[in-house]
Amino acid sequence: MTTYSIKEIYYTLQGEGIQAGRAALFCRFAGCNLWSGLEKDRLGAQCNFCDTDFLGTNGENGGRFKTASELARHANKFWPDETTKKFIVLTGGEPMLQVDSSLISELHNLNFEIAIETNGTIICPPEIDWICVSPKAGTKIAQKTGNELKVIYPQPELNFSKLLDLSFEYFLIQPMDGPDAEENTAASVEFCKENPNWRLSLQTHKQLGLK
C-alpha cells in the first residue's frame, strides 16, 4: 500500500515568510483537505484563491513512496551538498494529510532541518523545527502554536486581532496573488503600517522567476 503521494520535489530558495532567501528543498505533498474540486475544476474549493498545483504525483521528482525511509532517501538525493546545512520545506496542498512522526524522524536522521507550511487544520508533530500556519477563512485552526502565522490578504472574514492571540513568533501578511495582486499588495502595506504587530511577506520567488 502506498503511504506518501508527492507531487514534486525541487531545490530552490524559499521565497516568502521569515525564512525568505534561504536555500531549501521543497517537497510538495499531493492533495488538500480545503480543496474539493475535481480535476482542474476548482469550483467548490474553500480557498478560491489557491494558486498551487498539488494534484497527482506527476511533477518534478514526484511519485508514490511506500515508506518514510524511501521518501526521505529520495528527497535527500536533490540536496546538492551533504556538507552544508540541509533544509527541507514540507508543503502542499496540505502536507499534514500525510506527514507523520516517522517521516520527520527519517528526515532528521539525514540531518535535515524541517519546516512545514500548513493550513493549520491538523495538528503537526511537535518535532518539526519550523511551523508556518497559513489560516483560511471559514476553517477551524487546530495548530495554534508555531513559528510564523502567514495570512493571505485580504480575507475579510478573518478576525486579525483574534489571530494575534495565537502563540506564534511572527505574524505575517502576504498579498493575495491573481488579477488584484497590485491592489492587494497596496492594501497589505497599509495594513502593516496601521497594525505594526504584522509584517509584510512577499512572494519573492515569483518576482525572481524561481519555482
- The yes or no reply on residue 101 touching ligand SF4 (CB under 6 A) is no
Whether residue 179 has a cis bond before it, omega within 30° of 0: no
- The yes or no reply on residue 36 touching ligand SF4 (CB under 6 A) is no
- The yes or no reply on residue 99 touching ligand SF4 (CB under 6 A) is no
- The yes or no reply on residue 27 touching ligand SF4 (CB under 6 A) is no
The Cα 59–Cα 201 span in angstroms is: 26
Closest separation in Å from C-beta 37 to ligand SF4: 9
Out of 3, 12, 49, 50, which one is annotated catalytic?
Answer: 50
Out of 8, 16, 26, 132, which one is annotated catalytic?
Answer: 26
The Cα 152–Cα 168 span in angstroms is: 16
Question: Of 80-88, 92-100, 154-162, 195-203, which part binds ligand SF4 (CB under 6 A)?
Answer: 92-100
- The yes or no reply on residue 122 touching ligand SF4 (CB under 6 A) is no
Catalytic residue list contains 205: yes
Sheet order of strands, 130-133 included: 63-65, 4-13, 23-29, 86-91, 112-118, 130-133, 145-153, 167-175, 199-200
Phi-psi region of 87 (alpha: psi -120 to 50; beta: other; left: phi over 0): beta
The Cα 53–Cα 51 span in angstroms is: 7
Closest separation in Å from C-beta 110 to ligand SF4: 26
Find where cell 536522521 sits.
109
Closest separation in Å from C-beta 88 to ligand SF4: 18
Query: CB-wise, 52 or 111, nearer to ligand SF4?
Result: 52
- The yes or no reply on residue 26 touching ligand SF4 (CB under 6 A) is no
Adjacent-strand bridge partners of 26: 10, 89
- The yes or no reply on residue 202 touching ligand SF4 (CB under 6 A) is no
Helix (H) or strand (E) holding 108: helix 101-109
- The yes or no reply on residue 45 touching ligand SF4 (CB under 6 A) is yes
Binding site for ligand SF4 (CB under 6 A): 32, 34-35, 45, 47, 50, 52, 54, 92-94, 119, 136
